[in-house]
Amino acid sequence: MISFDDAIHKIETIATPLSPKKIPFADCARLTLAEDLNARSNAPAHNVSAMDGYGVRDKDLSGLNTSPNTPIRLPIHSESFAGSEPQKSPPEGSCVRIFTGAPVPEGIDRVIIQENVERDGDFAVFKTPPSQNDHIRKTGSDFQAGQTLLTRGTQLNWKSMTTAAAADQGTLLVYPRPRLIVLATGDELMPPGQAHTKLGSIPESVSYGINTLIVENGAQVVRSERLNDDPRRLEKAAKLALREADIIVVTGGASVGERDYAKSMFEKFGMEMIFSKVAMKPGKPVWCARVGHTIILGLPGNPSSALVTARLFLKPLLLGLSGRAIKDCTKAKMIESCADIPANGDRENFMRGYLEDGKINLFSFQDSSSQLTLAKADILIRRPPNAPAAKAGDKLPVYDF
């Protein structure tokens, strides 16, 4: 049995990024950049209009400043729409009909919004002196060709995907989505909706939580299987999973029961144990191993134990293999408690709780089998071995959950 900190250290050591791949841009959502992303062109590529209106030369409207009561009529030489190619300079003494996002022809100094212009056939009539704002977005005013828009290690979320698309690159070098296989073991397990039909069975709940954690962190569930405690079938499933997965998560069968086969099912494939049992509560039987490049994480079957150990060990593995930083996920934050918390026993304890007005609250039911509390829990409060009782107002280390 090793300490929690030693186990986390081992997880950090093996959570190295998968080999980067060039992937079509449209498939890159939620992936992480393996190189800096540079812009192909200036944005905007040309000076463009910020408004719908008429492009003019300042000197053609200068009379409005000296004689504000004398309107100025200019012939409309051409039109420029978003998507039009940039036009040459229009003749002096004329103007251009122009729309938002359209290239501004050379020689045009500003755009007068159409609300301030009267249209008279092929002429535009200007009556009010132009405003301060020229309504022109200058080329490169957002970013310039060659500029780094996003740095290596950035995860492409719904906002940065937009920035990335603007770089106009067809493929990106990214870390691929880690592929996971989840194996839920136990003769008693039945799919939700069927457990009530068989005496002695229970709904298989853990894999549904784990699969959601995997997907929410940008990784991929290749397959999620329910398996009976049959050593031959388990060994077969292990062999197949080892061919396909970057990480295999096995739930249940981690302890010392007569039908606890989670570790032995991998033994004959050359399993190297990284740790087995951690001095923590819940989750003491958690284990981690490797066969070749495949990481195997064994979670205890008790649902709260499984989800706590998944948050603490699987999440950093998912982030690390995806090329993302893991230190925010493995470090606790100090948060004030609004409840008294009892003295702790001799195992590191990760108590389930929730934040209310930014302060720690604790569930009174802390059993490792609990499923009900999981729906409301959003923090784990870390209690070191033999920690004395804490009082409301004390600050304690907390992980998001």
Ligand X SMILES: Nc1nc2c(c(=O)[nH]1)N[C@H]1C(S)=C(S)[C@@H](COP(=O)(O)OP(=O)(O)OC[C@H]3O[C@@H](n4cnc5c(N)ncnc54)[C@H](O)[C@@H]3O)O[C@H]1N2
**How near is the Cβ of 222 to ligand X at its closest, in Å?**
18
303 binds, among ligand X, ligand MOO, none (CB under 5 to 8 A by kind): ligand X
Does position 255 bind ligand X by CB under 6 A? yes
64-72, 131-139, 267-275, 297-305 -> range binding ligand X (CB under 6 A):
297-305
Report if residue 352 touches ligand MOO, rule: CB under 6 A. no
284 binds ligand X, rule: CB under 6 A: yes
The sign one gets for the Cα dihedral 100, 105, 110, 114 is negative
Q: Shortest Cβ distance from residue 188 to ligand MOO (Å)? A: 16
Closer by beta carbon to ligand X, 178 or else 282: 282
Residue of 241, 41, 49 lying closest to 142 (CA atoms): 41
Residue 316 touches which of ligand X, ligand MOO, none (Cβ within 5-8 Å per kind): none
From the list ligand X, ligand MOO, none, pick the one residue 47 interacts with, judged by a Cβ distance below 5 to 8 Å according to partner type. Answer: none
Q: What's the rounded Cα separation, in Å, for the pair 394 and 336? A: 6
For position 256 contacting ligand X by CB under 6 A, the verdict is yes
- Residue 253 lies near ligand X (rule: CB under 6 A): yes
* Residues of this chain, 363-382, that bind ligand MOO according to CB under 6 A: 368
Q: Dig out the tokens for 258 from the structure.
A: 């007569």
Q: Are 154 and 172 in contact (CB under 8 A)?
A: no
Q: Are strands 37-38 and 48-49 parallel, antiparallel or unpaired?
A: unpaired
Binding residue (CB under 6 A) for ligand MOO from 283, 298, 316, 320: 283
251 binds ligand X (CB under 6 A): yes
Q: Which of residues 147-186 bind ligand X (CB under 6 A)?
A: 184, 186
246 binds, among ligand MOO, ligand X, none (CB under 5 to 8 A by kind): none
How many residues belong to the site for ligand MOO (CB under 6 A)? 9
Whether 336 contacts 342, CB under 8 Å: no
Q: Does 300 bind ligand MOO (CB under 6 A)?
A: yes
Quick count: other Cβ atoms within 10 Å of Cβ 162?
10
Cβ proximity to ligand MOO, 283 vs 316, nearer residue: 283
User: Binder to ligand X among 260, 297, 321, 350 (CB under 6 A)?
Assistant: 260
**Beta strands at 53-56 and 110-113: parallel, antiparallel or unpaired:** antiparallel
Considering the rule CB under 6 A, would residue 348 count as an interface residue with ligand X? Answer: no
Phi, psi at residue 312, to the nearest 5°?
A: -80, -30
Q: Report the alpha-carbon distance of residue 44 to residue 213 in Å, rounded.
A: 39
CB under 5 to 8 A by kind: which of ligand MOO, ligand X, none does 29 bind?
none
- Please give the Cα distance from 105 to 92 (Å, whole number): 12
Amino acid letter, 269: F
Task: Please state, as a whole number, how many other Cβ atoms lie within 10 Å of the Cβ of residue 18.
Answer: 18
Choices 63-71, 161-169, 300-308, 349-357; region in contact with ligand X by CB under 6 A: 300-308
User: What are the Cα distances from residue 194, in Å, to 20, 96, 176, 303?
Assistant: 42, 71, 36, 18
Of the pair 20, 300, the CB lying nearest ligand MOO is at: 300
Q: Where are the beta strands (DSSP E) in 31-109?
A: 32-33, 37-38, 48-49, 53-56, 72-80, 95-98
Look up residue 155 and give its two tokens. Answer: 């995860």
Q: Figure out which of the listed residues 217, 305, 330, 337 binds ligand X, where binding follows CB under 6 A.
A: 305
3-class secondary structure, 330 = helix
Largest CA distance in the chain: 99
For residues 104 and 312, which CB has a smaller minimum distance to ligand MOO in the complex?
312
- The footprint of ligand MOO (CB under 6 A) covers 281-285, 300, 302, 305, 368
- The footprint of ligand X (CB under 6 A) covers 184, 186, 188-189, 202, 204-207, 251-257, 260, 282, 284-285, 300-303, 305, 368
